[in-house]
Amino acid sequence: MSMLTMASKCTNSENKKKIMRIMLILTLVFTTVFIFLLSVSVGSVKIGISDVVRVFLGLEVENDTYRSIILNIRLPRALSTILGGACLAISGLLLQIFFSNPIVEPYVLGISSGSTLFVGLVVLGGFTFGMKSTTPMFLFTGAFIGAMLVMLVVISATKKVRNITTLLIIGIMTGFICNAATSILTAFADKEQVHGFAMWSMGSFSGFSWAQTKFLYAIGLPLIIASFFLSKPLNALLFGDRYATTMGLSIKRFRIIVVFIASVLTAVITAFAGPISFIGLAVPHITRIMFKSTDNSVLIPGVVVGGALMTSMCDLIARMVLSPTELPLSAITSLIGAPIVLFLLLRKDAAM
């Protein structure tokens, strides 16, 4: 009898946990939708949310310029912010598990800087070599090469050192080298190009074109969906390489997949929005704390929505605080993210 009641209690508490998690995800989704509508609605021209919804539903609105502002300028930006945030956050989660290190993410490891350098080569160098314009594909390829190169440097370094802090320093130093090379590039480049490049390199989703947005979704969305299928091996990897192997995971192949996805996701964002810091770091941790779990089948959906929400919010703040002047997105994300890194570093038992 007591065994039975205990068992039913267990399943009850299990069910409760499940319902709580679903409620939490739904709350996050609704908040994201709200922020999304808000970010389409606010700006130099204020458009009411009801008008925004009407435009989305294809209904008539009083002022016809609203339609073009929403559909041509604000919608691509809001959409790419949402997916961009999700990409960065998933990339951060993958890297944290890959390096079994709680304080890594694309920006901290210098992967974003590698992308920046190669985007710089394409944008600034390309102009010097007589190219008139750059296609999204070209930018992305540059960013991807840069991301992979830095990734390989960091991975080969981790074969020698396993220490959390040392890995962090290696990433930061690689980042410095890439930044130095980037600034040397800018010294030689055309002034107008440099201004645009400098704005871009502070990170922003402003001025996203539909072409870029479509490209971002074409690359990012399949990989995010693919990451949903990785939760089981990622959970095994929480036990370390050796345990994961003895539980039946083909570790080499899996590591290649993880590195590839993380690099592509970072590259596709960096190519168009510039290096954006700390989303990849902060979101997985906040999600772990909110869901009280390290189970990746729970975390991955949570991180996707959380990344979208946090990035949209930061973007909205960047636009609104000193409006009409727009702040660089990385300034806002750093203000929120860097204290989290410090907190985690000071807490020795940093959670994974």
Binding residues for another protein, rule: CB under 8 A, are 10, 13, 229, 231-232, 235-236, 238-240, 242-243, 245-250, 288, 292-295, 297, 349, 351-352
Q: How far is the CB of 263 from another protein (least distance, A)?
A: 23
In SS3 terms, 89-128 reads as: HHHHHHHHHHCCCCCCCCCCCCHHHHHHHHHHHHHHHHHH
C-alpha pair distances (Å), 275 with each of 162, 287, 292, 351: 26, 22, 30, 26
Tell which residue, 198, 156, 195, 168, has the closest CA to residue 107: 168
Cβ closer to another protein: 50 or 246? 246
- Proportion of the chain in helix, strand, coil states, percent, rounded to 5: 75, 0, 25
Cβ closer to another protein: 148 or 224? 224
Instruction: Phi first, then psi: give them for residue 161, nearest 5 degrees.
Output: -120, 140
Q: How far is the CB of 101 from another protein (least distance, A)?
A: 12
Residues near 77 by Cβ (< 8 Å), separated by ≥ 6? 39, 205, 206, 207, 208, 315
Residue 127 CA, distance from chain mean position = 29
DSSP-derived letter for residue 74 is I
Amino acid (1-letter code) at residue 145: I
Cβ closer to another protein: 25 or 117? 25
Q: How far is the CB of 1 from another protein (least distance, A)?
A: 16
Q: How far is the CB of 166 from another protein (least distance, A)?
A: 19
Q: How far is the CB of 240 from another protein (least distance, A)?
A: 6
DSSP for 308-327, written as a single string: HHHHHHHHHHHHHTTTTSPP
Cβ closer to another protein: 63 or 246? 246
Cβ closer to another protein: 209 or 231? 231
C-alpha pair distances (Å), 107 with each of 71, 112, 127, 282, 327: 31, 5, 27, 12, 19
Q: How far is the CB of 14 from another protein (least distance, A)?
A: 9
Q: How far is the CB of 242 from another protein (least distance, A)?
A: 6
